[in-house]
Amino acid sequence: DKDTDHEVPAESIQNGALEYVVPVKIGTPGVTLKLDFDTGSSDLWVWSSELSRASKTKGHTIYDPSKSSTAKKASGTWNISYGDGSSASGNVYTDKVTVADVTIPGQAIELAEKLSASFLQDGGNDGLLGLAWPQINTVSPKSVPTPVENMITKKLINPSVFTVKLGRGDEAGFYSFGFIDTSVTPNPITYTPVDNSQGFWQVASSSWSLNGETRERSGNTTILDTGTTLLLVADDVVDAIYGGIEGAVFDNQQGGYKFPTNATLPDIAFAVGDTIYKVNAKDFAFGDAGDGFTFGGIQSRGDLDFDIFGDVFLKSVYVVCKSIHNSWDTARVT
Ligand code: 0ZP
């Protein structure tokens, strides 16, 4: 049982940019679903046999409890709405779940019965696996333990950590459970205390820098969110960034700022606790916006009172989430 047995590849899908999915085996003999591991939510839900026939045939692997000898019906229903307006709901079973060679018996699995239209396109995930804190799990009347919570309470991993390294383009990324991969980067891992009172991996981010000039944002916080594609920050920061790029404009149709593809890009960095991390220009230049424009990887957080450091930020760091010391530890990788 090598340490690396507890590592599992994270594959980026949909133009290599929108989301990362990870293979998870469910049931006996078992099916392997590709789940979007989301540190911004705490529900493990899957495409299932309870969906209508039309949505089941969209090229997804589904979980059917009648085909698993270890499946058991559990009580409760679930109903989740995400930041981007997508939603899902259904009922609950328990079954055996294997993630990165860690097998969890009796894990609660939320079966999708209804999915919002945004999920019903081709090629996306077969469900989500939430890695945030237990209190935001949506199963009612009583919430269910998340996979990480079960790994810890059932003593399946030691130490009580999971780590995230997201790849860029074709680069390999991975998640690990109970194991910190020190081969990822020679840079030191910096400790930052987490405030989990809202259920998120939330840390202080009280400064940022633009072209080497540091700017204070007293009291500002951010969450680590692998389920959010972009880096979402307050409007004054967004305005300062794009205001300094010749020809940058807000595109109402695409819902964000874009800039001429040949523009000179600024150096941008954001603090996590006491350490400031540079956003890679390749990730800031998020994608083709048509007509010679590039869609920006940093956009508005809207009405939220904290930032969301999504994949555009996370690709530049190795993150260690420690449940015991309650910290979000980061090391620069590029
Ligand atoms: C996303 O980042 C989308 C991609 C996306 C959305 C909107 C605009 C975009 C512009 C450019 C590029 C990407 C954009 C994720 C996504 C990827 C691939 C396929 C998808 C198919 C359908 C729907 C989404 C897809 N969504 C973020 C999000 O809601 C946007 C956001 N807005 C965050 C505000 N905050 N992510 C959630 C996980 C998604 C859900 C995973 C849909 C994929 C499927 C959560 O991580 C967000 C979290 C927000 C919270 C931290 C404030 C959340 O909603 N948690 C649920 C808890 C409920 C709070 C108790």
Q: What is the pLDDT of residue 329?
A: 66
Residue 196 lies in a domain: no
Same domain? 152 vs 207: no
Residue 170 lies in a domain: yes
Ligand 1 centroid to residue 269 C-alpha, Å: 23
Residue 207 lies in a domain: yes
Contact between residue 284 and residue 210 where contact means Cβ atoms under 8 Å apart: no
| CATH at 140 | 2.40.70.10
Ligand 1 centroid to residue 228 C-alpha, Å: 5
Q: Whose C-alpha lies nearest to ligand 1, atom 57?
A: 41
The catalytically annotated residue of 38, 43, 95, 126 is 38
Same domain? 112 vs 40: yes
- Asked whether 127 lines ligand 1 (CB < 6 A), one says no
Instruction: List the domain range (segments joined by +) for residue 163.
Output: 3-177
The catalytically annotated residue of 43, 126, 225, 283 is 225
Same domain? 208 vs 123: no
Helix (H, G, I), strand (E, B) or coil at 159: coil
Annotation says 225 is catalytic: yes
- Asked whether 223 lines ligand 1 (CB < 6 A), one says yes
Is this prediction's ipTM beyond 0.90? Answer: yes
Same domain? 233 vs 131: no
* Nearest alpha-carbon partner for 80 in 46, 34, 53, 104: 46
Gap between the Cα atoms of 105 and 123, Å rounded: 29
Residue to mutate (ligand 1; options 13, 140, 200, 229; most atoms within 8 A of CB): 229
Same domain? 173 vs 243: no
Peptide bond into 134 cis (omega under 30): no
Tens-binned pLDDT, residue by residue, of the chain (334 aa): 555 667 666 666 544 568 999 999 999 999 999 999 999 999 999 999 999 876 666 789 999 999 999 999 999 999 999 999 999 999 999 999 999 989 999 999 999 999 998 888 766 899 999 999 999 999 999 999 999 999 999 999 988 899 999 998 878 889 999 988 988 889 988 889 999 999 999 999 999 999 999 999 999 999 999 999 999 999 999 999 999 999 999 999 999 999 999 999 999 999 999 999 999 999 999 999 999 999 999 999 999 999 999 999 999 999 999 875 555 666 676 5
Same domain? 213 vs 167: no
Same domain? 276 vs 322: yes
Residue 16 lies in a domain: yes
Q: What is the pLDDT of residue 171?
A: 83
Question: Considering its fold, how many domains does the chain have in total?
Answer: 2
